[in-house]
Structure 1
Amino acid sequence: MPYELRPHTADIAVAATGRTLSAVFEATADGLAAASCDELIDSGEQLDITASAESLEALLFEYLDELIYVRDVELVLPVDHEVSIAERAGGWELEGRARGIPLDEIDAREVKAVTYADMRIEETAAGWEAYVVFDV
């Protein structure tokens, strides 16, 4: 599994790995979904997700924050994440897709927000690692 849920005081953290930058973003988003729901179902429609920021850490924050926003506004849990990330002049851009499972079809817990507390994303010899704390 490319992510692991970890307790973090009153919150929950996701530690994720991936061979590529896109893969670690996807794994972190999968961890967010796992923190929200134990059992996923196959229903749901495709969602398009975009984010941009000046740094990779800020891009990861913006992406996860957008997933939480979509959940709250569209009442769906984004799962099955696919992203592509590109470095542009002045920053980073992310284009992604996910499947939105209607919240009324699952038993979901509320993850309130992504935080910058202890957040990190870094390249390693094996690929990429990310660590993100969520307010629950």
Structure 2
Amino acid sequence: MPFEYKDHEADIGIVGIGNTIEQAFEQGAKGMFSLMCNIKKVEKNKQIDIKCNAPDYETLFVEWLNELLSKKDLENMLMMN
């Protein structure tokens, strides 16, 4: 499994695993969306860019996941690679 779930005081923690930061973020997003649906059944029909800024990778990961959640909620989109 390229991601792990960890206990977290507020919710559930997700750790993306990859050889690069990009791969780790991608795997973390897969972990998040796997909690919501069967991502293997999500069809790709649109490509979008997500832009975030943060002072460190941990904060950037949280901001990026929040942007993905926002797209899911506001535009009814699920993300896949």
Q: TM-score, normalised by structure 2?
A: 0.80
Distance 2:5 2:32 in 1: 9
Q: TM-score, normalised by structure 1?
A: 0.51
Distance 2:6 2:56 in 1: 25
Partner of 1:36: 36
Say which structure, 1 or 2, has more relative contact order (CA 8 Å, 6+ apart).
Answer: 1
- Matched residues, number: 80
Which structure shows the higher helix fraction? 2
* C-alpha distance 72-18 of structure 1, shift in aligned 2 (>3 A): same
Instruction: Structure 1: state its 5+ residue gaps.
Output: 81-136
Partner of 2:56: 55
- Kindly provide the CA deviation profile for residues 78-118 of structure 1, in whole angstroms up to 9, marking residues without a partner as x: 121xxxxxxxxxxxxxxxxxxxxxxxxxxxxxxxxxxxxxx
Percent sequence identity is 34
Partner amino acid, structure 1, of 2:30? D
Which protein shows a greater Rg? 1
Distance 2:10 2:58 in 1: 22
SS at match of 1:52: coil
Matched, 1:3 2:3: yes
Distance 2:29 2:36 in 1: 11
Matched, 1:12 2:15: no
SS at match of 1:47: coil
Partner amino acid, structure 1, of 2:14? V
Runs of 4+ in 1 over 4 A off after TM superposition: 6-10
- Kindly provide the CA deviation profile for residues 31-51 of structure 1, in whole angstroms up to 9, marking residues without a partner as x: 111111125232431121111
